[in-house]
Amino acid sequence: MRALQIDAPLVGPRIAALLRWAISFVFFAVSPAHAQENYIVTYSHEMEELGNLEIAAKNVTGSPKGGYAFFATALELEYGVKTWWTTELYLDGQTTAGQSTLFTGFRWENRVRPLLREHWINPVLYFEFENINGADKALLEVVGHDGRADFLGRNDRSEKKREAEFKLILSSNFKGWNVSENIIAEKNLTNAPWEFGYALGASRALALAASAKNCRLCRENFALAAEMYGGLGERHSFGLHDTSHYAGPVLTWNIPSGPSLRLSPNFGLNGNSHGFLMRFMVSYEIDQVLSKLRGR
């Protein structure tokens, strides 16, 4: 196997080292499996299986008009605590051309599925605590009046953002398709008003039945999706005025006995948005991680 190469000048030495550590740990210490999730921004009702750990790097890169090119990553550790409860820790960082490479904070996410049996619409309740700073560029979602202008200034860690985020996730499966809708409400833990946003997605595997042969490029290992997401203003200015919105396809490749890869070019839909963002994600799901660490 060739040594893993990550271009440190492109992503910054600290983030590159963090990515190398996470990917090397999974490749050489454990045997991976796969989760059935085909989006990057939108959440479906799929939960992490009990006792399984997923390690993932969610990445986004862009070059805002009038600003500096950037690369941001969120290292994700997702664990299935119960069949109805999944918890995640995100570690965010970014590098901006001509400026600096920064660790920008952490997020602690929890998802609870109140109805475990499959229904026509499957709800999931989501809560996240964020402790990040003003230099964060992970763009895991868009709320309020977030837009391209937020990326034009120089990196500033002095602004602290301690926020609570809530989502109502609604998701349906039918005839091989998944359709998911996320309604987002976010509140800075100060006197700042509530901010709102949304994410929508539809996905389908290229083949629903497994082929007789074992191959990496078989159609059942690929899925196509489309996502749209954006802000819906604030409590006192709810609506589409002065908000940003994006849409784009997502290609997922679940490599047998290997990682899952997702690639998603995103296109801004109005003048407040970045013209183009490239999102890509690498993830590994580890079966029964605690048992393996104990040598069972």
Q: Is the pLDDT of residue 258 over 90?
A: no
Give the residues across from 144 on adjacent strands. 233
Of 4-18, 40-54, 136-150, 179-193, which range is least confident? Answer: 4-18
Characterize 160-198 residue by residue with b for buried, 16 or more Cβ atoms within 10 angstroms of its Cβ, and e for exposed.
ebebebebebbbbbeeeebbbbbebbbebeeeeebbbbb
Q: Is the pLDDT of residue 4 over 50?
A: no
pLDDT in tens, 120-166: 999 999 999 999 999 999 999 999 999 999 999 888 888 889 999 99
pLDDT band of 36, cuts 50, 70, 90: low
**Confidence at residue 18, expressed as pLDDT on a 0 to 100 scale:** 45
**Confidence at residue 41, expressed as pLDDT on a 0 to 100 scale:** 98
- pTM attached to this predicted model: 0.85
Q: How many helices (H) and strands (E) does the chain have?
A: 3, 14
Helix (H) / strand (E) containing 8: helix 8-11
Q: In this predicted model, which residue has the larger pLDDT, 73 or 14?
A: 73
Contacts of residue 51, defined as CB under 8 A and 6 or more positions apart, other chains included, come to: 80, 287, 288, 289, 290, 291
Percent of the chain with pLDDT over 90: 73
d(CA 197, CA 42): 12
pLDDT in tens, 43-83: 999 999 999 999 999 999 999 998 999 999 999 999 999 99
Q: Classify domain 8-293 at the CATH topology level.
A: Porin (2.40.160)
**Where in the chain are the domains?**
8-293
